[in-house]
Amino acid sequence: MERMRHIKFIRHKPIIPQAGQTLGYQISKHNIPEVWKKTQGEGVKVAILDTGCQAKHADLRGSVKFGLNISGFAEYKKWDDLYRRTGNADHKRKRDRAKSDYMDRDGHGTHVSGILSANNNALGIVGVAPEAQIYVYKVLGDDGYGSYEDVALGIHKALSKGVDVISMSLGGDDNHSGVYKAIQAAYVAHVPVVCAAGNEGNRAVLGYPAQYAETISIGALDMENIRAVFSNMGQNLDFMAPGVDILSTVPSNRYAVYSGTSMSTPWAAGVIALMIAKHRKYGGRTPVRTVEDVREHLSKTAVDLDAAGKDKKTGYGLIDVRALLADPKPKPEPKPEPTPDPRTPYDPPIEGIVKRLERIEERLTKLENKQSGDAV
């Protein structure tokens, strides 16, 4: 069976952050706290398709609004069939557990979730859009692998829940028709699907599903905004985002530093969530209704990093959060049109005409009186 996995990434040992909350460079250096004065992503639903999530992590508690284990559907079906035949309550419990157990036993999905929406509290870390609502779809198993069919089903399930953004830090080498149809369905529904470009840096082509033009594909930068050596290149690469040495949540209430386009993808999805929330709250001069609206907003404000315009190494460039979410400049007040003067440039004022006529009449009267006196 064809299989897909989370994007291979560089995993570092779990660490314990210092007391209080740590703002990683992906937050502080990219002006995100400044944007939080306007919005923290409230009300925006973001689906994360990955290895699941530890929803009860101290820094994610309340952020996860829904979870579904799609990688366990085979197990679910097995126990469901048994329960239907036997009516055994134990079979029912095992069936329900198979469906609802979206716990992350790999670490990847919880790390991705924290980058996007870890709570803005007094501990651990904070995500890009801490008020966004996470919808977890476990499409990859505890070994980090899953089927293309499960990924496609995850997209459809997310769309049925009315999510606003889908984030997928996973990939494979195959152009799978089921996954592509699901992404097309998201595109038609105006839901941006944000995908990791891949971590085989010597490849000049993106992995799937990032290779599909309907997705928004993301490569990785380091702290100095230099392209990571592992970040894939390609004609369909759209944008770059921080993805090197990113501190985030992992299971068992711990934290760890990972690197990869897997990390830059939820960061970009979080920024899109902020943009959607801001437009809903304040409006904007141009709409954000379709996937292409989102792409256009990101590209117009991106910081070009390589060749002018879009290029294969860095796409349109770095997503510029401050420029993207800046208040629109007020339109200049139109100057009032001057009241048109009905006179031509050669028309004398009417008052002058009257006076001239009066003087002419006065002269004529004097002339007539003089002529009358001469006649006498």
**Catalytic positions:** 50, 108, 262
Sign of CA dihedral 254, 257, 263, 269: positive
Strand 239-242 relative to strand 216-221: parallel, antiparallel, unpaired? parallel
Phi, psi (deg, nearest 5) at residue 195? -125, 145
Helix 108-117 vs helix 261-282: crossing angle, to nearest 10: 30
Phi first, then psi: what are they for 183, rounded to 5°? Answer: -70, -40
* CA 177/CA 17 separation, integer angstroms: 43
Q: Which amino acid is at 49?
A: L
Q: Is 53 exposed, middle or buried (0-12, 13-18, 19+ CB in 10 A)?
A: buried
Quote the CA–CA distance of 182 and 149 in Å, as a whole number: 10
Distance separating alpha carbons of residues 263 and 114, to the nearest angstrom: 10
Copy the structure tokens of residue 123. 């501990």
| Per-state percent for the chain, helix, strand, coil, to nearest 5 | 35, 20, 45
Q: Rounded to the nearest 5°, which phi and psi values hold at 264?
A: -70, -25
CA distances from 151 to 50, 248, 278, 330 (A): 9, 24, 30, 44
> Rounded distance, CA 307 to CA 225, Å?
15
Q: Which residues pair with 312 in a beta bridge?
A: none
Which has the closest alpha carbon to 127: 36, 245, 54, 192?
Answer: 36
In the chain, the amino acid numbered 192 is: P
The owner of tokens 């004065």 is 37
For 325-338, letters b (16+ CB in 10 Å) and e give: beeeeeeeeeeeee
